Protein backbone atom coordinates (compact mmCIF):
# COMPACT_ATOMS: atom_id res chain seq x y z
CA UNK A 1 0.00 0.00 0.00
CA UNK A 2 1.33 3.38 -1.02
CA UNK A 3 1.67 6.06 1.64
CA UNK A 4 -0.47 9.08 0.94
CA UNK A 5 1.09 12.50 1.20
CA UNK A 6 0.33 14.85 4.08
CA UNK A 7 -1.55 17.26 1.83
CA UNK A 8 -3.89 14.49 0.65
CA UNK A 9 -4.62 13.45 4.22
CA UNK A 10 -5.23 17.01 5.42
CA UNK A 11 -6.64 18.72 2.32
CA UNK A 12 -9.72 19.96 4.17
CA UNK A 13 -7.61 21.58 6.88
CA UNK A 14 -5.37 23.22 4.28
CA UNK A 15 -8.37 24.50 2.31
CA UNK A 16 -10.03 25.87 5.43
CA UNK A 17 -6.93 27.63 6.70
CA UNK A 18 -6.19 29.16 3.31
CA UNK A 19 -9.82 30.33 3.05
CA UNK A 20 -9.61 31.95 6.49
CA UNK A 21 -6.23 33.47 5.69
CA UNK A 22 -7.43 35.06 2.49
CA UNK A 23 -10.46 36.55 4.21
CA UNK A 24 -8.42 37.88 7.12
CA UNK A 25 -5.96 39.39 4.66
CA UNK A 26 -8.66 41.15 2.66
CA UNK A 27 -10.34 42.40 5.85
CA UNK A 28 -7.06 43.85 7.10
CA UNK A 29 -6.41 45.40 3.69
CA UNK A 30 -9.87 46.95 3.56
CA UNK A 31 -9.55 48.11 7.16
CA UNK A 32 -6.32 49.92 6.38
CA UNK A 33 -7.87 51.52 3.32
CA UNK A 34 -10.88 52.66 5.34
CA UNK A 35 -8.69 54.07 8.11
CA UNK A 36 -6.64 56.02 5.56
CA UNK A 37 -9.81 57.34 3.95
CA UNK A 38 -11.30 58.31 7.32
CA UNK A 39 -8.09 60.08 8.38
CA UNK A 40 -7.93 62.04 5.13
CA UNK A 41 -11.62 62.86 5.55
CA UNK A 42 -11.00 64.13 9.07
CA UNK A 43 -8.18 66.33 7.86
CA UNK A 44 -10.31 67.95 5.17
CA UNK A 45 -13.16 68.51 7.65
CA UNK A 46 -10.84 70.31 10.07
CA UNK A 47 -9.86 72.89 7.46
**pTM of full prediction above 0.85:** no
pLDDT tens by residue, 16-33: 999 999 999 999 888 877
Q: Which one has a higher pLDDT value, 38 or 29? A: 29
DSSP of 3-39, one letter per residue? PPPHHHHTHHHHHHHHHHHHHHHHHHHHHHHHHHHHH
Q: Which one has a higher pLDDT value, 15 or 41? A: 15
Residue 47 pLDDT greater than 90, yes or no: no
CA distance 40 to 24: 24
Residue 44 pLDDT greater than 60, yes or no: no
Amino acid sequence: MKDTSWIRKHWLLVAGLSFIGVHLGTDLYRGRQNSVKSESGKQTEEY
